């Protein structure tokens, strides 16, 4: 047993590589050779993780990934617990339908981070995803529980159809953010367009946002301004075309 399993990208995939076998809890019970033998799909054809990554360490639920994984999809799919730290950007479906643990990306993430598999009712149901960069479209779509934090910009339809859970976006939101929201919170610290089916409720200093941002500042070492922690937020209720129990909280300054 090692302190951590480290995957170093040795061979850059030439096509999209679906590596939904990478999850911290799964590695906790596997030796290095078993990890290298895990199945992946490269350009639609079966391959193994070891053909692309050098594996160091074994049987650990702390996993580090080094290298530019922009072409690699599905990292952290269905993760239940443990810690997955990625030093570089990743492709789509990061933390797809994960239910626990932490994923920390020092780079950008593609579409559908923390989202749901095609056709499934629920996206992530627990755990934390922190992306220190921007995300693609529909990040946090159909999320049921958990926390998704993005320090850069969000794509289109962020938090689309969220059932519950929390999204924190430091950068600017794309169009359609929060559409079809049933419950849950989207905290927008940058520019955000209010969807037509959301209604203004009030402007206040939400204590739960202060707590959350303090936590992100201390635990994740994110750059959170004091004015954001104690500042005023406009609360919009929505999506009124759905259940309408969700909220979009827009920071409007100190």
Partner 1 sequence: MTTPARLRIAGGTVYDPAHGVDGVVRDVCIEGGGIVAELPAGAPRLDVRGMVVMPGGVDIHAHVAGSSVNHARRLLPEEHAADPAPAPRLVDGPPPRSGTGGTVPSTFATGYRYAGLGYTTAMEAAVAPLAARHAHAELDDTPLIDSGFFVLLGNDDYLLRQIAAGETARARDYAGWLLGVTRAYAIKIVNPGGVAVWKSGGAGGGRNVSGLDDAVGSSAVTPRKILETLAGAANALALPHPVHIHCNNLGQPGNAATTLESMRALAGQRAHFTHLQFHSYGGERGKGWKSAAKDVIEYVNGHAQVSVDVGQVMFGSATTVTADGPVEHLLYASSGRKWVNVDIELETGCGIVPYSYREKAAVSALQWAVGLELFLLAQDPWRVVLSTDHPNGATFLSYPELIRLLMDRAYRDDRLKAVNQKLLAGSALLDGLAREYTLGEIAIVTRAGPARLLGLSHKGHLGPGADADVTVYAPDADRAKMFAAPRYVIKGGAIVVEEGQLRRAPAGARLAVRPDYDVAVKKDVRRFFDDYATVAFENYGAEP
Residue 135, Cβ density class (10 Å: 0-12 exposed, 13-18 middle, ≥19 buried): buried
| Per-residue binding letters, 98-127, with partner 1 (x by CB under 8 A) | ------------------xxxxxx------
Report if residue 30 touches partner 1, rule: CB under 8 A: no
Euclidean distance between CA atoms 126 and 123, whole angstroms = 9
- Rank residues 20 and 247 by Cβ distance to partner 1 and give the closer one: 20
- Rank residues 51 and 242 by Cβ distance to partner 1 and give the closer one: 242
- Rank residues 37 and 201 by Cβ distance to partner 1 and give the closer one: 37
Least distance in angstroms from the C-beta of 117 to partner 1: 5
Radius of gyration of the chain (CA): 18
- Rank residues 102 and 160 by Cβ distance to partner 1 and give the closer one: 160
- Rank residues 116 and 158 by Cβ distance to partner 1 and give the closer one: 116
Least distance in angstroms from the C-beta of 180 to partner 1: 13
Q: What is the DSSP letter of 67?
A: S
Nearby residues of 254 by Cβ (< 8 Å), 6 or more positions away: 227, 230, 231, 232
Euclidean distance between CA atoms 204 and 249, whole angstroms = 10
Q: Which of 194, 177, 192, 101 is nearest to 139 (CA)?
A: 177
Least distance in angstroms from the C-beta of 115 to partner 1: 12
- Rank residues 74 and 238 by Cβ distance to partner 1 and give the closer one: 74
Euclidean distance between CA atoms 114 and 124, whole angstroms = 5
Helix (H, G, I), strand (E, B) or coil at 250: strand
Residue 240, Cβ density class (10 Å: 0-12 exposed, 13-18 middle, ≥19 buried): middle
Q: Which of 13, 7, 64, 10 is nearest to 32 (CA)?
A: 7
The number of residues that bind partner 1 (CB under 8 A) is: 6
Paired residues of 41 in beta bridges: 18, 46
239 preceded by a cis bond (ω within 30 of 0): yes
Least distance in angstroms from the C-beta of 142 to partner 1: 11
Least distance in angstroms from the C-beta of 202 to partner 1: 29
- Rank residues 115 and 136 by Cβ distance to partner 1 and give the closer one: 115
Least distance in angstroms from the C-beta of 120 to partner 1: 4
Tokens 């053909």 -> residue: 51
Least distance in angstroms from the C-beta of 131 to partner 1: 23
User: Interface with partner 1 by CB under 8 A: which residues?
Assistant: 116-121
């Amino acid at each position: 047993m090692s302190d951590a399993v480290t995957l170093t990208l040795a061979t850059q995939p030439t096509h999209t590589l679906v590596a939904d076998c990478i999850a911290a809890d799964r590695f906790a019970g596997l030796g290095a050779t078993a990890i290298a033998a895990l199945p992946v799909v490269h350009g639609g054809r079966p391959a193994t993780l070891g053909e692309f990554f050098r594996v160091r360490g074994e049987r650990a639920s702390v996993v580090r990934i080094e290298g530019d994984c922009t072409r690699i999809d599905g990292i952290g799919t269905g993760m239940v617990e443990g810690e997955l730290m990625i030093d570089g950007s990743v492709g789509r479906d990061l933390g797809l339908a994960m239910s626990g643990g932490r994923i920390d990306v020092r780079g950008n993430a593609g579409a559908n981070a923390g989202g749901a598999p095609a056709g499934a009712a629920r996206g992530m149901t627990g755990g934390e995803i922190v992306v220190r960069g921007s995300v693609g479209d529909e990040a946090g779509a159909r999320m049921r529980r958990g926390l998704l934090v993005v320090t850069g910009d969000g794509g289109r339809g962020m938090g689309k159809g969220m059932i519950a859970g929390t999204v924190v976006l430091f950068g600017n939101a794309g169009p359609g953010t929060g559409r079809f929201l049933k419950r849950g919170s989207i905290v927008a610290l940058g520019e955000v367009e209010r969807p037509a089916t959301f209604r203004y409720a009030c402007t206040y200093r939400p204590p739960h946002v202060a707590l959350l941002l303090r936590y992100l500042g201390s635990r994740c070492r994110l750059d959170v301004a004091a004015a954001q922690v104690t500042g005023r937020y406009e609360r919009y209720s929505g999506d009124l075309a759905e259940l309408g129990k969700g909220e979009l909280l827009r920071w409007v300054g100190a």
